């Protein structure tokens, strides 16, 4: 067994505890440990990514308990890709927060490490119940990050965020309980084999469990009608935390991909393609709603939050085709939208007025004065990111949308439906462009009116974090061919998960039942 | 036993959902607790309700109790306990910051930032 598979979970867990225990009163040491840990995590994620280029799936059995009974971690191309994405994001956010957001409270870096632990665990786990546990870990950390810095609006919206996610966790437990009650297993690979064998009398319960899971994952991914929490949460938290949250909606997308391909796709049976009919309407509504709101955004936080909502919807359009090409296109768009959303949040953080406390009188409102004193590089970065997020040529946002639309046109959908998808995605791009153009013109081109108010005080630096994320986006654009080939291989492996199932169950399929610890 | 168990789960879920829809933070916290009790009982029942059966292999036993849901319930209890603690602290802190215990979105300005940070 390759023991490195468990390292992306262990490293942040140990580091987070270390930061709390030994560096509690030493912010400099905290930063160093955090950035060092995130760099190691990135290296680790790269190594694991290299591994899956050669092998389709690797299983790690904790304590070497045989697979359907013990706890198992699985590294497959999708998991490796998500690990790499969370490591890139973690490093950028940890580096950016140093000397800025982490001065507003004592535990930013510890929370960030626990967040990474939850994320990596959720991506690696091969077990439905451990998915729940890692969801809770990443959510507890995200509550801390969301509230970091404090303030009334943050506590109010934080309460909503926590309550909604607690109810989501309970629905998750009901779904997992129903699935366990019907199949007698929670191991995803075992479920892939057992799902087609569900008797017709139990099929309704099994499908109900699946729909419970879809509701929870849809809630995490902010799909309409479970999107209400996202704008309030994202615009009231600090932009540094929000940059890390760019991957939280993608955890929902990841879980939907995992469940729909492994449990509710593979092998047919009563619950095959359970999610498919719901995904396309939800995706179109989410995308339309999010992007339609962009031209009306009056603050950078609102602009970024609704752009995030729109990208989450666009991502699901490809998934809804239920075909390999659509899945590959969605994975490409997933990587792009996570990086672009995070980069935009970090850039927006540089523009926020900090005079007189954490949020000065200008706040993050889109007014000419906000960008006063910012160099041309900021304006150029804003424009580049706007082009990327709106999906204009020649960057990865455009390529991602083209791949998704190609997949939709090539899929077995009614022509009217294809037209509707085309219209929503293209009009969405138009509205996004309008919103970002309006913000950019107001911020950078309007002369600031002369007033007696003190000029906004902004944080400087953090260039390499934003630049690094943008460089990753450019790399995704330049290497679109090889990366799409990787995503296509990933999608094919997801849709035919024999390698995943045999890696997990393997030679232990016939093993005698062992006791659950 | 099944009827008693099912009605207990149902009654607690109903109470939990009712309390969750209240406008103040304290009923919401209690509602979440009720809901998590209901879900814990529900999870327990997914291993089937059997009386007096051993959970581990025993030569003389014909029926076994499934030990796995009990482990799941234990994990769920720990997590929901921690979450309730966070929620209580959050509600208290929100009350101290804003002076009221309303759950509603509050005075968010048109820019979405309200009067907070």
- The predicted-structure confidence for A397-416, as pLDDT tens digits, reads as follows 999 999 999 999 988 888 89
* pLDDT in the model for residue B23: 85
d(CA A437, CA A368): 13
Instruction: Give pLDDT tens digits for A432-442.
Output: 999 999 998 88
* pLDDT in the model for residue A25: 85
Pick A73 or A375 by higher pLDDT. A73
d(CA A216, CA A177): 14
In a domain, A362, yes or no: yes
- Min mean pLDDT across A88-102, A264-278, A388-402 is at A264-278
The secondary element (H helix, E strand) that includes residue A74 is strand A72-75
> Once rounded to an integer, what is the mean pLDDT over residues A311-327?
89
SS3 A366: coil
What are phi and psi for residue A415, nearest 5 degrees? -55, -35
How many other CB atoms are found less than 10 A from the CB of residue A416?
Answer: 8
Above 70 in pLDDT, residue A7? yes
Instruction: Give pLDDT tens digits for A440-454.
Output: 888 888 776 666 666
Cβ pair A172, A213 in contact under 8 A: yes
Q: How many domains does chain A have?
A: 1
Cβ pair A145, A241 in contact under 8 A: yes
Pick B113 or A266 by higher pLDDT. A266
SS3 A273: coil
What the block records as the tokens of B59 is: 């030569």
Percent of chain A at pLDDT > 70 equals 91
**What is the distance of C-alpha A239 from the center of its chain?**
16
Asked if A299 lies within 8 A of B36 by C-beta distance, the reply is no
* pLDDT in the model for residue A517: 36
| For B20, nearest residue in chain A (alpha carbons) | A163
How far, in Å, are A2, A128, A205, B37 from residue A173 at the CA level? 31, 10, 14, 12
pLDDT confidence tier of residue A26, bands split at 50, 70 and 90? confident
Above 60 in pLDDT, residue B5? yes
Asked if A166 lies within 8 A of B112 by C-beta distance, the reply is no
Nearest to A298 by CA among A113, A186, A407, A435: A435
Task: Name which of A111, A173, A174, A236 to mutate to probe chain B: the one with the most chain B Cβ atoms within 10 A of its Cβ.
Answer: A173
What are phi and psi for residue A270, nearest 5 degrees? -65, -30
Quick check: ipTM above 0.85?
yes
In a domain, A125, yes or no: yes
pLDDT confidence tier of residue A365, bands split at 50, 70 and 90? confident
Above 80 in pLDDT, residue B106? no
Instruction: Give pLDDT tens digits for B15-35.
Output: 999 999 988 899 999 999 999
Above 90 in pLDDT, residue A11? yes
* pLDDT in the model for residue B93: 86
> Once rounded to an integer, what is the mean pLDDT over residues A35-51?
94
The verdict on pTM exceeding 0.95 is no
Above 60 in pLDDT, residue A220? yes
Asked if B111 lies within 8 A of A365 by C-beta distance, the reply is yes
In a domain, A456, yes or no: no
- Min mean pLDDT across A79-88, A175-184, A244-253, A343-352 is at A343-352
Is A514 an interface residue toward B (CB < 8 Å)?
Answer: no
How many other CB atoms are found less than 10 A from the CB of residue A515?
Answer: 12
Strand partners for B102: B24
Q: If you search the block for the tokens 């879809």, which residue do you land on?
A: A214
- Domain extent, residue A484, equals 3-449+461-505
List of residues 6+ apart from A410 with CB closer than 8 A:
A323, A325
pLDDT confidence tier of residue A251, bands split at 50, 70 and 90? very high
Is A330 an interface residue toward B (CB < 8 Å)?
Answer: no
* pLDDT in the model for residue A35: 92
Pick A74 or B99 by higher pLDDT. A74
> Once rounded to an integer, what is the mean pLDDT over residues B101-105?
75
Is B85 an interface residue toward A (CB < 8 Å)?
Answer: no
In a domain, A257, yes or no: yes
Asked if A298 lies within 8 A of B98 by C-beta distance, the reply is no
Q: From the list B56, B83, B114, which residue is nearest A166 (CB)?
A: B83
* pLDDT in the model for residue B108: 46
Is B108 an interface residue toward A (CB < 8 Å)?
Answer: yes
d(CA A269, CA A279): 20
| Secondary structure string (H, E, C) spanning A123-178 | HHECEHHHHHHHHHHHHHHHHHHHHCCCCHHHHHHHHHHHHHHHHHHHHHHHHHHH
Instruction: Give pLDDT tens digits for A116-160.
Output: 999 999 999 999 999 999 999 999 999 999 988 877 778 888 888
d(CA A279, CA A218): 9
Pick B114 or A405 by higher pLDDT. A405
Above 90 in pLDDT, residue B61? no
Whole-number mean pLDDT of chain A? 87
Chain B, residues 18-37, CB within 8 A of chain A, namely 20, 25, 28, 32, 35-36
Asked if A180 lies within 8 A of B72 by C-beta distance, the reply is yes
Q: From the list B86, B98, B115, which residue is nearest A140 (CB)?
A: B86
Asked if B113 lies within 8 A of A159 by C-beta distance, the reply is no
Task: Name which of A152, A182, A354 to mutate to probe chain B: the one with the most chain B Cβ atoms within 10 A of its Cβ.
Answer: A152
Instruction: Give pLDDT tens digits for A269-296.
Output: 777 788 888 999 999 999 999 998 888 8
The secondary element (H helix, E strand) that includes residue A338 is helix A324-351
* pLDDT in the model for residue A419: 92
Instruction: Give pLDDT tens digits for A337-360.
Output: 999 999 999 988 888 766 544 555
The secondary element (H helix, E strand) that includes residue A254 is helix A248-262
Whole-number mean pLDDT of chain B? 84
In a domain, A209, yes or no: yes
> Once rounded to an integer, what is the mean pLDDT over residues A47-62?
90
Domain B2-52+64-98 has CATH 1.10.287: yes
> Once rounded to an integer, what is the mean pLDDT over residues B63-68?
85
């Amino acid at each position: 067994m390759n023991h490195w598979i468990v390292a992306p979970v262990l490293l942040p867990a140990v580091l987070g505890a270390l930061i709390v225990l030994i560096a509690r009163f030493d912010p400099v040491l905290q930063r160093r440990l955090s950035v060092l840990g995130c760099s190691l995590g990135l290296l680790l994620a790269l190594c694991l990514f290299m591994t899956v280029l050669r092998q389709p799936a690797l299983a790690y059995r904790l304590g070497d308990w045989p697979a359907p009974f013990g706890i198992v971690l699985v590294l497959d191309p999708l998991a490796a890709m998500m690990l790499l994405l969370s490591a890139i994001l973690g490093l950028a956010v940890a580096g950016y927060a140093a000397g800025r957001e982490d001065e507003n409270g004592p535990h930013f870096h510890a929370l960030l490490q626990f967040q990474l632990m939850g994320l990596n665990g959720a991506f690696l786990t091969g077990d439905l119940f451990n998915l729940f546990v890692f969801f809770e870990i990443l959510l507890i950390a995200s509550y801390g990050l969301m509230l970091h810095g404090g303030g009334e609006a943050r506590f109010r919206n934080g309460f909503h965020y926590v309550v909604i996610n607690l109810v989501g966790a309970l629905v998750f437990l009901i779904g997992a309980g129903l699935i366990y009650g019907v199949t007698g297993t929670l191991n995803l690979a075992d479920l892939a084999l057992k799902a087609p064998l569900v008797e017709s009398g139990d099929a309704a319960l099994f499908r109900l469990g699946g729909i419970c899971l879809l509701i929870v994952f849809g809630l995490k991914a902010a799909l309409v009608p479970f999107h209400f929490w996202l704008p309030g949460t994202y615009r009231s938290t600090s932009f540094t935390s929000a940059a890390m949250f760019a991957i939280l909606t993608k955890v929902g997308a990841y879980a939907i991909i995992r469940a729909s391909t492994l449990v509710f796709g593979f092998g047919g049976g009563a619950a095959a393609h359970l999610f498919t009919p719901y995904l396309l309407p939800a995706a179109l509504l989410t995308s339309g709603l999010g992007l339609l709101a962009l031209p009306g955004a009056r603050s950078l936080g609102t602009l970024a939050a609704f752009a995030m909502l729109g990208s989450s919807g666009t991502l699901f359009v490809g998934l809804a085709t239920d075909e390999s090409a659509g899945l590959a296109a969605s994975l490409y768009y997933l990587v792009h939208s996570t990086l672009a959303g995070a980069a935009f949040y970090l850039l927006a953080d540089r523009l926020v007025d900090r005079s007189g406390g954490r949020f000065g009188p200008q706040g993050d409102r889109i007014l000419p004065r906000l960008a006063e004193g910012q160099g041309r590089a900021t304006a150029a970065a804003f424009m580049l990111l706007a082009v990327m997020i709106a999906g204009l040529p020649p960057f990865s946002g455009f390529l991602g949308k083209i791949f998704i639309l190609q997949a939709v046109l090539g899929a077995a959908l009614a022509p009217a439906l294809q037209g509707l998808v085309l219209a929503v995605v293209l009009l969405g791009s138009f509205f996004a462009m309008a919103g970002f153009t309006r913000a950019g013109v107001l911020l950078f081109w309007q002369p600031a009116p002369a007033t007696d108010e003190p000029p906004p005080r902004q944080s400087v630096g953090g260039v390499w974090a934003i630049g690094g994320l943008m460089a990753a986006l450019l790399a995704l654009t330049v290497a679109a061919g090889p990366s799409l080939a990787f995503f296509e291989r990933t999608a094919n492996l997801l849709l035919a998960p024999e390698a995943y199932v045999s890696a997990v169950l393997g030679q232990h399929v016939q093993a005698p039942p062992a006791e659950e610890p | 036993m099944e009827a008693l168990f099912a009605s207990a789960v149902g009654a607690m879920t109903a109470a939990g959902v009712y309390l969750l829809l209240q406008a103040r933070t304290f009923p919401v916290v209690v509602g979440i607790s009720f809901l998590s009790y209901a879900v814990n009982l529900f999870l327990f029942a997914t291993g089937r309700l059997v009386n007096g059966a051993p959970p581990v292999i025993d030569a003389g036993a014909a029926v076994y109790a499934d030990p796995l849901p009990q482990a799941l319930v234990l994990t769920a209890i720990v997590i929901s306990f921690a979450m309730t603690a966070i929620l209580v602290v959050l509600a208290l802190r929100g009350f101290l910051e804003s002076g009221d215990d309303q759950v509603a979105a509050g005075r968010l300005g048109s820019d979405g930032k309200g009067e907070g940070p």
